[in-house]
Homo-oligomer: A and B are copies of this chain.
Amino acid sequence: MLYIGIDVGGTTAKAGVVDENGHILVKSSCKTGIERGFEDIAADMAALCHRIVRESGHTMDEIAAAGVGIPGEQSPKTGLVALCNNLGWVDVPLKERLCTALGVPVYVDNDANVAALAESVFGASRDASSSILVTLGTGVGGGIVQNHRIHTGAHGVGGEIGHMVVVVDGEPCNCGQRGCWEKYASATAIIRMGRALMRDKPGCALAARLGGDESLLDAKAVLDLAKEGDADCLEIFHTYVKYLCIGLSNLISIYDPDMFVLGGGVAYAGKFLLDAVRESLGKYLYCPSLPYARVELATLGNDAGIIGAAMLGRNG
């Protein structure tokens, strides 16, 4: 059988026709955008699905189900997308609209959960009994997968690991709380620390590299200089790794997954990041003498969203 996987973002929705083995036969995208109404976007998404199925040389009859990863939360009670900040959606009937338009069962889950599912089926954690994907991007997203099924919890709000508070009364977060992990372990945190460095020490290597232009600052610039051995950027990197490891340690103390998978923009630092995390994690554990989760990098990249959404449909 074949499946449709849809990865909904704030500016585009990507969709693919995916086979049982996680291979994407055809993929394409359409625009979303917070300025457009839900009905229009839902109609475009349905049209996109019909189009890619045609382009794949198959028919909708051969599609077993469709899955959708959204940057928000669907309430398991109401079946409505309760909250989707990037698209301004509140209590919208996404599942029902697509179900009607496509004539197949539709499954909806959070995008980070869906990416975690993809990694657990075809990616870095495919051999793990349980895994937590930690996406280190603008924020920190995540998904917990146990025996190849997403753990969303009793009310569908679990797996929001980026909003675990690690510093009570700490940095204000977009969610309205303070001190959330994502304020310290995201690419945004590296940029914040880089900015502070450029202001405190205008002669630093980072400022020189960027010609003093703060607007050019991204996490990669800091990470690249840290890799090159620049002391200031290494200090930022070590602070970052400390906060990252404390959050991972919390997840071990609570959930104790078989493994962690690191994804998102910061994970492009690759082995440099992975080695640092592996070296540091034990220092922050409650009981480091017992075995604990191994850490690997995500392998599916940007396709994880489409593949994981399709697997939502396969898992049913």
A interface residues (Cβ-Cβ under 8 A, vs B): 73, 75, 77, 82-83, 128-130, 144, 151-161, 163-168, 170, 175, 177, 180, 184, 242-243, 246, 249-259, 284, 286-287, 289-293
Q: How far is the CA of A289 from the CA of B151 in the complex (A)?
A: 20
B254 in contact with A154 (CB, 8 Å) = no
Complex CA–CA separation, A290 to B306 (angstroms):
26
Oligomeric state, in copies:
2
Contact B167–A167 (Cβ < 8 Å): yes
Most buried by B among A144, A164, A175: A164
Known A83-B287, A83-B290, A153-B257; 10 more pairs at CB < 8 Å: A154-B293, A155-B291, A155-B292, A157-B286, A158-B255, A166-B168, A167-B167, A168-B184, A251-B254, A254-B254
CA distance A149 to B31 in the complex (A): 45
Is A165 a contact partner of B246 (Cβ separation < 8 A)? Answer: yes
- Closest CB-CB distance, A246 to chain B, in whole Å? 5
Q: How far is the CB of A69 from chain B (nearest CB, A)?
A: 17
- In the complex, what residue of chain B is closest to A153 when comparing beta carbons? B256
Q: Which of B158, B168, B287 contacts A73 (CB 8 A)?
A: B287
A253 touches B161 (CB 8 A): yes
Alpha-carbon distance A252/B155, docked complex (angstroms): 9
* A252/B157 in contact, CB under 8 A: yes
Give the chain B neighbours of A128 by CB distance below 8 A. 154
Min CB distance A235 to B, Å, is 16
Q: In the complex, what distance in Å separates the CA atom of A230 from the CA atom of B82?
A: 42
Which residues of B have CB within 8 Å of A289?
82-83
If A77-B291, A167-B167, A246-B168 touch, whether A158 touches B83 (CB-CB below 8 Å) is no
Contact of A130 with B159 in the complex, beta carbons under 8 Å:
no
State in angstroms the CA–CA spacing of A252 and B160 once bound together: 9
A124 → chain B, closest Cβ, in Å?
15
Knowing A168-B246, A255-B254 touch, does A286 contact B155 (C-beta < 8 A)? no
